[in-house]
Structure formats: structure tokens, C-alpha cells
A and B are shown apart, each in its own frame.
Chain A
Amino acid sequence: MDLSFLLAGAGKTMTSFFSMTYLFLFLPFCLIVYAVTPKKAKRYVLLAESLLFFWLVSGALVAYLLISAVSILLLGLWLGKLQQKQKAAIKDLPKEEKKAVKQAFLRKQRALVFLGVFLHIGLLLVLKYTGFFLGNINSLLAAFNCPFEMYIPQFAMPIGISFFSLQALSYIIDVYHGLVKADKNYARLLLFMSFFPQIVEGPICRYGQTAEQLWNVGSIKYRNLTFGLQRILFGMMKKIVIADRLDPLVKKVFDEPNSFDGGVIILAAVCYTVQLYMDFSGSMDAVLGTAEIFGIKLPENFERPFFSKSVSEFWKRWHITLGAWFKDYIFFPVTSAKRMKNLTSSARKKLGNHFGPLVAGGIALFCVWWCNGLWHGAGWNFIFFGMYHFVLILSGNIITPASKTVLQKLHIKANSAGYKVFCMIRTTILVIIGELFFRANGIGSGMELFGRIFTDLSFRSFDQYLLPRLGVDAYDLAICAVTLMIVFAVSVVNEKGICIREVLEKSNIVVRWVVLYSLILFIVIFGAYSFGYIPVDPMYAQF
């Protein structure tokens, strides 16, 4: 009997939340089994469904997830035990002695945290970055005419490793800080790590946010079901009506950087930024919507990022859970280190309140953006992407006092609507430039594309042959434009704090069904799909 399928899983047919297999087979199957299961067993069904999903996507690589959960279970319990011992040891000690005993226990706990970081980051480095590092070493050797070439091993990587590794680390660090108690229950920890809607693209959750919710799941409620399905539908519209439709255009231009003039490159960079946003935020709608059906509230990953007035604000609204992870586990720990605090104090005395913290803050920001770039992928274009944002955010902070003075002299009110729109457009342009390098096939290709915008800025290619050459037609672009207007209108309403689904809930049944059927029909008629059509893989799944 051939059991090789146990190792292989179902392959790529499941990675997209909008694939026919996932949407019409896997998800309904999970919901039905979950619904008919007695309440006490629902948590175990959810765990089994999550592991089944992981196996279907990654096959035998599910072992990485299981071992990762075992490692954090053991480290967490060890940390918990040390904390208990510390508590008992300092109970009756005078204040002066307490400090010394505390420090001794903290040193041991810190060693365990370093072990956890070493295991998880080490595994991630080996699996994801070995090829990149060894490839660069080989290039260096070749540059010096060295006849030696290093062998580059190929590792199979489980889906979502960049996401669940960060969740695992956050759990260990949170236990160390006493923010959460060490969990003795392996099944609960494994469910926290593997909950199937979030395993492919996040959001990156903290143990304190979701573990208890997942463990205490209840029956599917009608309201949660309708709200969740509505959100999945909206995400589906973003993904298969806009993002997938723009894919051929983006692919063509980025794969052939020398074939197009600056005008087409600008168009492709704008389309890629739209595609990435619609793809990632659409997938997040599906993730959060699915979780909502089970009664789980996952943290939001997007808050209308293109309404940001600065690059710094943009990163508080785009991929929020990744930014928050870097802020909590890299930025603040780096700036809170004793030497950095001393640096901040002395810099503030010399440079003042504004520029003083920028010295230590700049160093921490550099660490954050170096990691952010590398997290997205093993390539120099990703590192460039990180450094680009580091420079933008740091320089934005440096020039704040000067820009305030300029605004005052020009009698421009910073909170006027016109100035806000100007800032939003400026931020969007800066983001699009960053995304151009992010999407480029390597740093050389990115430089080529960016350079051509200036050296070959013309619109001579915009003729009747351009769209067929790019693999799209006017119909595609018109549908994307109309759908983007719908998304924009919804975003404006959301920005005002109004939840459209709640408004719909309170409205007349006729209005409700007209809106829902319109959305379904819109997706059916205008979605980029057909029989035999394979949806474009979710873009963030590759990270």
C-alpha cells in the first residue's frame, strides 16, 4: 500500500483561502463537524482540523509545528518552575538580599529565553536563509577568483514558519516577563500555535490574546456566522476581483524590467501596491471572518493604511501584528537596555528632548527594520526594503521640528484637510517606491526599474497594443477601478468608526439581502476565475 501521500499532503490546492477546495470542501466540512460535536469536545475538533489543514498544506513538515510546540511547552514549564522557586526563596528575605537572589534567578530565566530564541530563530535561519548566506559567500569567493564553491543545501520549509516561530517566541518571552502563566496543557499550546485560519499568513497572535478564547470555544452562533461570512465575502471580492486580475500586468513588467518605459513601470508599481494590499488584507478578511464564525476574535492586521499621513503611521496601520511584535520584542527591549538608557540620558543633555532619544531610538529602529526586511525574505531587495523604511522613518523624526517651523511660516495648518490629503499622497508615493523594490526580482532588477522611471520617463508605450502585451484588457482595469471605489467608500465609512456589518444587521431584511446578493453576484460575475482556474497564491504565504 502506497503511503507516500501521508508525507506529501495535498500540496498547493489549499494555501489560498479562496480556492475552490478550501472554500467549498474544507471549510464547510470543518464547520459541519465542529457544529455537530458536543461542546466539551469542540476544542479538540478545532485542533484536529488545524493539524489536518497543516498536513494538507505541508505534509510531513507538520512535525516542525509539533516539535516547536513541545519546545515552548517545556521551556515555559521550566521558566514557571524557576519563578515559583524565586518566589519561595525571596519570601522572608530582607529587601537588600531580595535583589541579589532575584538577579540570580533572573539570570537562569534569561538563559532559558536565549535557548528558546536560539532554537526558533536558529531553525528559521537555517531553513530560510542558508541558501542566501551561502550564495553570497559563493559570490564573494567567485569575485576573488577562488576556485572553491560551497554546497548549498535545499531545505523544505513548512508553511507559515515565519509566523508561528514569532508566536512561539512571544509566548516564551511573555512567560519570562510574567505576563502569562506557563501552560501545562500541550493541546492548548498547540491549538494556539496552529489555529488553521491564521497559520498561513497570520495575524501574529500573542498567547494572552487567543489561547483561552480558542480553548473555550462554544457553539456557532447565527450572528457570528453571518458576520463572519460577510467578511469572508468582502475579502474574496478584494482578492479575486482586484488582486488576481492585476497579477498578469504586475508579473509581466517585473519579470521584464528592460522591456518597458518609465510610464509603464510607474503603472506596474502602483498596480503591485494595490494588488499586495488587496491580496493581503483580503486574505486577512477571510482569516478574521472564519475565526469570527467560531466565535474567536483575532487581532486586526490592517487599519486603512493608505489614510496614513506619514510612513511611521503607515506601519502602525499595515501588518499591525508584525509591527507590534517588533516593537514589543526588539525596539523597546533594545532601548531599555542599561547602556542604551545611559546613551539616551547623555544624548538628551547634549541634543535636547527631541534629538536626544533619536540616538538610541535610531539604533533600535535600525535593528527593527533590518529584521523586518529579512523576515520578509532572504534577498538583498528585502534588506533594502527594510533599510529604506528605516531611513524614511528616522529622517521623518529628525525633520519634524523643521517641518513644523516651515508650516508656521507658510501659515499652513497641520490639521487642515488639504494638508492632510497632501501628507497621505506623499506617504502613498513613498510606500509605492518601497513596494517596487519589495516586488523586484532582486536588488539589481529593482534598481533597474527605479532608474528607468527617471532615465526613460515617457508614455509612448501607452498605445492600443500595451494592454494585450501586459496580459490584461480595458475591461480588467475598469472592473478593478470600480471595485477599488467600493473598497475606498467602505474604508472612509470604517475610518469614521462605523461598522457596516452592524448597520446592515439593524437594517430592513430586504436591504440586507439585496446588499448580500449584490456582493455575491458581483464576485461571481467579475471575479477572476473559471473552471480549471488556479487562484494566485496568497502573496504573504511565501514569507
Chain B
Amino acid sequence: MERLIEILEDIQPDVDYENCTDLIDGHYLSSLDIISLIAELEDEYDITVPAVEIVPDNFNSAERIMKMIERLQED
């Protein structure tokens, strides 16, 4: 989780990633931030994030992102 928060802070600083639960709905992360994040996640965790996974529910909090990563690693 620490590494994920580092990645997020690198892409978009000034957000409380530990507690924020509306990263997408609250407009904290833009579509371009998401592209950057996905590229970083794919490199870091050796996963492929298909377009269908890019929904607010999967990106609204660091916890949700982590859950998606774990699910994709199992696939």
C-alpha cells in the first residue's frame, strides 16, 4: 500500500490518499492522471489493466485500487 501511495503522490500531489474515498467522483484524479497511473501500475505490479476496469469504483480510493491490482494479479 505504501508503494501505491508513493505512486499516486508522484502523479498528483496534495491529496490525502490515506483517507480520500472519492478520487474520481471528487475530481481529484483526471482522465490523464488515470492514464499515467495505469502505465505505472502495469510496470510496478506486472499486470494489464483493460479498459473495462477503468471505472470510478476501481479508482475512488487507494484501497479500491489495491483491491483491483490484487484481483488482476490473480487473473
Contacts and interface: CB of A to CB of B under 8 A. Distances in A.
B1 interface: no
A345 B35 CA distance: 10
Contacts of B51: 332-333, 336
Contact of B39 (A327, A328, A344): A344
A121 B40 CA distance: 34
Contacts of B15: none
- Chain A interface residue count: which class? 20 to 34
Given A331-B31, A358-B32, A336 B43 contact: no
Interface string B29-65: 0111111101110110000011110110000000000
Contact of B30 (A312, A348, A353): A312
- Chain B interface residue count: which class? 20 to 34
B2 interface: no
Interface string A321-343: 00000011001110110000100
Given A332-B54, A356-B36, A345 B31 contact: no
Contact of B50 (A336, A353, A358): A336
B33 to A, nearest CB: 8
A327 B36 contact: no
Given A312-B30, A353-B11, A178 B36 contact: no
A512 interface: no
B36 A357 contact: yes
Interface in B6-42: 10-11, 27, 30-36, 38-40, 42
A181 interface: no
Nearest to B43: A345
A361 B35 contact: yes
Name the prevailing secondary structure of the A interface residues: helix
B39 A336 contact: no
B60 to A, nearest CB: 15
Contact of B36 (A312, A333, A348): A348
Contacts of A328: 54-55
Contacts of A327: 31
Contacts of B52: 177-179
Contact of A344 (B30, B35, B50): B35
Given A313-B27, A316-B27, A341 B32 contact: no
A357 B32 contact: yes
A360 interface: yes
- Interface core residue of A313, A331, A332, A360 (most chain B CB under 10 Å): A332
7 contacts: A179-B52, A336-B49, A345-B43, A348-B40, A353-B36, A356-B39, A361-B32
Interface of A: 177-179, 312-313, 316, 327-328, 331-333, 335-336, 341, 344-345, 348, 353, 356-358, 360-361, 397
